[in-house]
């Protein structure tokens, strides 16, 4: 059995995670021929617990959610930057530092790509609609736009152009240490990154979990769970 730890969002009453992330992880089981068990990680400020969490599971999914506090990448907060969650930001950065050290498989979606970038010293566009001369990407998640892919991601998909949904107002600005850009939208916004030397540290800006039946979404989750299986072995 493969275990996949997922990071939750913080609410007024506790923590939560959209069922679509759990369902997406479960949808990948047939591709690896193993039972998959998604697990929600409790948020903690105890660094000794964070270290234990980083050792306990076969792979880690950094999910979507609110904006990352710009103090973590050395910037003042933009007026259109959302209200951050200090508890989640602090936990995820500490966890990612441990996962990088241990070379554990990590996959990020939406906020996930942003946090994975910040944890490696990268920066973000706090609001692409006002900071870049591009159309806002925060729209109906059912709408699609063209994304141009390259390198290992193009090899995985078997094509250099794909259609993805668009549901974000922040994006990677300067990639963090070791990260390479593998996809951009038509207007140049970074849509996917992967680490050049870690076994599996990959993230996308779109939401593949919203359409797990799509061929691109299937290939992403299959590759992630294959990395989890290899890590377990």
Asked whether residue 46 carries a pLDDT value surpassing 90, the answer given is yes
- Catalytically annotated residue among 22, 81, 98, 110: 110
Is the model's pTM score more than 0.85? Answer: yes
Residues 156-208: pLDDT tens digits? 999 999 999 988 999 999 999 999 999 999 999 999 999 999 999 999 999 99
Domain that holds residue 107: 2-232
Residues 136-159: pLDDT tens digits? 676 666 778 899 999 999 999 999
Tokens representing 7 are 């990071």
- Catalytically annotated residue among 92, 168, 209, 211: 209
Asked if 22 is an active-site residue, the reply is no
pLDDT at 138: 66
- Say how many domains are in the chain: 1
Q: Which CATH number covers residue 129?
A: 3.40.50.880
| Mean pLDDT of all residues in 95-122 | 98
| Mean pLDDT of all residues in 57-82 | 97
- Catalytically annotated residue among 168, 195, 207, 211: 207
Asked if 209 is an active-site residue, the reply is yes
| Mean pLDDT of all residues in 110-133 | 95
Query: What is the Cα–Cα distance from 209 to 157, expressed in whole angstroms?
Result: 16
Instruction: Identify the three-state secondary structure at position 14.
Output: strand
Beta strand residue intervals within 46-189, DSSP E: 59-62, 106-109, 124-125, 144-149, 161-165, 171-172, 179-185
Range 211-218 contact pairs with CB under 8 angstroms and sequence separation of 24 or more: 211/165, 212/20, 212/23, 212/24, 212/27, 216/157, 216/162, 216/164, 217/24, 218/27, 218/28, 218/31
Asked whether residue 48 carries a pLDDT value surpassing 90, the answer given is yes
Instruction: Identify the three-state secondary structure at position 92.
Output: helix
| Share of residues in the chain with pLDDT > 70 (%) | 97
Asked if 168 is an active-site residue, the reply is no
Residues 2-17: pLDDT tens digits? 999 999 999 888 899 9
Query: What is the Cα–Cα distance from 10 to 42, expressed in whole angstroms?
Result: 10
pLDDT at 140: 67
């Amino acid at each position: 059995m493969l275990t996949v730890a997922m990071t939750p969002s913080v609410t007024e009453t506790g923590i939560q995670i959209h069922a679509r992330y759990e369902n997406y992880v479960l949808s990948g089981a047939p591709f690896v021929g193993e039972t998959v068990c998604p697990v929600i990680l409790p948020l903690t400020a105890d660094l000794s617990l964070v270290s234990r969490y980083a050792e306990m599971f076969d792979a880690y999914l950094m999910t979507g959610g609110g904006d990352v506090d710009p103090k973590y990448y050395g910037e003042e907060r933009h007026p259109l930057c959302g209200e951050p969650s200090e508890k989640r930001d602090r936990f995820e950065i500490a966890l990612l530092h441990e996962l990088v050290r241990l070379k554990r498989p990590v996959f990020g979606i939406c906020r996930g790509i942003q946090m994975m970038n910040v944890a490696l010293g990268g920066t973000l566009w706090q609001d692409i609609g006002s900071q870049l001369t591009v159309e806002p990407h925060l729209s109906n998640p059912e709408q699609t736009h063209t994304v141009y892919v390259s390198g290992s991601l193009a090899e995985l998909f078997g094509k250099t152009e794909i259609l993805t949904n668009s549901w974000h107002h922040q994006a990677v600005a300067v990639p963090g240490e070791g990260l390479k850009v593998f996809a951009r939208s038509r207007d140049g916004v970074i849509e996917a990154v992967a680490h050049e030397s870690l076994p599996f540290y990959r993230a996308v800006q779109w939401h593949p979990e919203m359409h797990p039946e799509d061929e691109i979404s299937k290939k992403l989750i299959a590759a992630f769970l294959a990395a989890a299986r290899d890590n377990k072995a």
